[in-house]
Structure 1
């Protein structure tokens, strides 16, 4: 929902006020009902002195971050972890909106969601690979396509399906030679954003997007503009210099160079490229699980861990991973992409060996 001008309303039923505004903003009855179930459940928690941490009935306008955390804690064991995260997002949106329109003075969920990030927490059981070791791994790929696939995954944290769904229109590069050879950056989301990738939210298996039926899905909550740094530019330019003509009118960014010549690359192919090299490094074995084997999904873990540790900012990583839904009103604004680029370029790790040349 877009920003609204502050109002002087002091509704007796703030939850009902919010739900009515959802109707005004064109939300479906199903969406409204989902919010009502969650918010009324939270409201019942607040008015029960035996459950909330105050020991007395509390109105939503007077709830603190401790009340919100206590309620979220009460959900664990009762609903699935993903549902806990969804409920927290609903409550955050409620408070953010009510604060934005001037009904509430503050959003107690802002601090809570900063700490509550079920999707990007470190997984302590994962194999830990240092940046120098990963740099050696990248150096072992000599084929321009294979190196471009691996570096793109490592530099962006995108999923393998999202990588395969990229089209030329999703990439904007300021390199004049490449721009002259290819029609890049046709997405409106890339206007004024040179050297960027756009990862959409909508492609799904079986859907026709950009004139081609897709065989892989994107799973992010929102479309995301991701910066392309100098290293990723170099490997993409080298790949585009040898890229075969695509068979699809969608003009996939990555296409086959042996079997499936000119056809969109598939997740199976990408996994095979990574697995073969990971086996050489002793990072993959038959029967090994997620805690041991290095796969394309491991690169998402690597990206999350190292970039978050370097920036100290969960928000940047959440944005780049596409973990923030469009309809959640919080600290993300239209200028967020600029601050993300600055934070990303200042902190992203180097992956290319010094002897690497185009």
Structure 2
């Protein structure tokens, strides 16, 4: 210790270690909201225990288990039996190997911080992590052709889930970009949609106001940013906004959803929660329903929880089947156009497609995009 003593002493580490640690992760380590939620969920469980606004938007986990502070009376001393019992209850709850290790590593890091500050005398969770053999089975890669994905989408009776799946599959957009779509960024040339816009007093953004049957993905927002009056769970990762054509099949899927979609308030998200007040779907919903539950329910995969089939899988499906000489689809578009629609292109390519969008993007895309036969 220096002649000045312990300059890092903070009484909160001793009196309120959980609160202090979480504040440290958020303000000093500057972890993302998603990571902060994982840490808080593992250590204290109920987000309402501490008043952090960034936790309010996250979905309740589908598997219930006790957090560290509820399962172990760790303040009065911990044993290896405590740490092993905590690990066992995670496994008994049905968490996979990766999730179990993640939870243990979070607790290990928390206790390591306290150990270094002489708040506690041991870190048995670190010992359990070192002795454990985590069996991370890599998910089997799945390969499905256009007809198989069409059968899967056609078998989904839920109009919102089907339309969401069609949007992922036909565009290759990222999950955050899909979840962030608001009505002003969608132009459908149909009376049903015109009525929806009038009913909600929505004005289309300038980028697509004169482009019927077009989806606009802006470069904003970033994760945690307040965008159009709402703090977003996920971000759009595009450097520049992109206009994406909508073919007849995707249009019909969206219109079927709008026929039953409940009324919403500003900022009018496209995808909304199925129960309670209509609010934007959370980040976990597509994975839990579209690519877990419905994929298994319709027979597309045997186990919807093994991580092989996710919303991101559609991004690879789009890329593979739209590039020349790849996938199971005969037609294709130029690889640079694939990059343009995906949102991962250089500025010079973007300029060409932006100024010659009608001929260079829309028509070429419509001529080549695969057809699922959902409504045939």
TM-score bracket, normalised by the shorter chain, equals: 0.5 to 0.7
**Contact persistence 2:233–2:283 (CA under 8 A):** no
Counterpart of 2:281 (choices 265, 278, 282) is 265
Residues in 2 aligned to 1:233 and 1:305: alpha-carbon distance in whole angstroms: 23
Q: 1:221 is matched with which residue: 239, 251, 256?
A: 239
1:193 to 211, 215, 229: 211
* 2:257 aligned with 1:242: no
> Which residue does the alignment assign to 2:249?
231
Structure 1 counterpart of 2:157, from 142, 145, 169: 142
Aligned to 2:342: 321
CA distance in 2, matches of 1:132, 1:302: 13
Deviations 1:309-355 (A, max 9, x none): 32251011011001124477775451135421111100111123345
Q: Deviations over 1:265-319 (max 9, x none)?
A: 1220111112112234252637745xxx111000111111111232251011011
- Which of these two proteins has the greater Rg computed from alpha carbons? 2
Q: 2:366 aligns with which of 330, 345, 357?
A: 345
1:156 alignment counterpart? 171
Output the CA distance in 1 between the equivalents of 2:241 and 2:234.
16
> Residues of 2 paired with 1:312 and 1:327: CA distance?
18
Aligned length: 226
Cα drift, residue 246 of structure 1: 1.7
Counterpart Cα distance in 2 of 1:205 and 1:264 = 15
Note if contact 2:197-2:203 (Cα within 8 Å) is conserved in structure 1. Answer: no
SS at match of 1:182: helix
Q: Deviations over 1:153-188 (max 9, x none)?
A: 111111111111000000001102321232566111
Partner of 1:172: 187
Per-residue CA deviation, residues 124-161 of structure 1 (Å, 9 max, x unaligned), is x9422111111111011111111111111111111111
Which residue does the alignment assign to 1:100? none
Distance 1:190 1:143, change over 3 A: same
Structure 1 residues 219 and 192, CA, compared in 2 at 3 Å: closer, same or farther? same
Aligned to 2:42: none
SS in 2 for 1:267: coil
Q: 1:337 to 1:319 in 2, by over 3 A?
A: farther
C-alpha deviations, 1:44-95, integer Å up to 9, x for none?
A: xxxxxxxxxxxxxxxxxxxxxxxxxxxxxxxxxxxxxxxxxxxxxxxxxxxx
CA-based RMSD: 2.2
Partner of 2:29: none
CA distance 1:239–1:224, change in 2 (3 Å): same
SS in 2 for 1:250: coil
Distance in 1 (alpha carbons) for counterparts of 2:305 and 2:231? 33
